[in-house]
Amino acid sequence: MARTLYFAASIAPDDTGALVSASHDRTFFDTFMLVLGILLGITIGLIILARIIAGQTSGTHKATDPVYQQEVLARIAPVGRVAVAGQDNSALAPPASTEPVAAAEDLPGDAVYNQACVACHGAGIAGAPKFGDKAAWAPRIAQGLDTLHTHALQGFQGKAGYMPPKGGRTDLSDQSVINAVDYIVAAAK
């Protein structure tokens, strides 16, 4: 015959469990805060120690580095100099450039359009006629390609808006801008 085990539930409420739990929680919290405080103190101590060591090593080496000293002197140099009449002012002449200036590469019209022109002509900003809008481009095309090329290269203030020289990209070659104008006109015909 198998024996059945029964556990009788206590009839009286057990208030000691609530007290034990509260005191246990308080002890855990106090210990946890003590450990956090110790870790925070160690962290702050390590940060201070690292700053002291870095200040004594890399800071002194950097200050004695001749390249660093030249960079500091270049940053704090006066912005301009005064030329005095009747004195030798040859030291004030700008230094001659030793690097040759690279000539701008001639780009195809679609590349120039996608790099520069699309900013205004893609959305019609500042009165710019939209790319492919035949009605907006017709009066401009009627003036002739030479006029459009001149306006694109030198800039133009019209009734509808403003066209900056070379569309604001003065680094482009004249031929690249002409290629872009031809590309835009071809799309509007």
Q: Which tens digit of pLDDT belongs to each residue from 127-170?
A: 888 888 898 888 888 989 998 899 888 988 888 778 889 888 88
Residue 177: burial class (beta carbons within 10 Å; 0-12, 13-18, 19+): buried
pTM above 0.75, yes or no: no
Cβ-based burial of 156 (10 A; exposed 0-12, middle 13-18, buried ≥19): middle
Q: What was the pLDDT predicted at 183?
A: 92
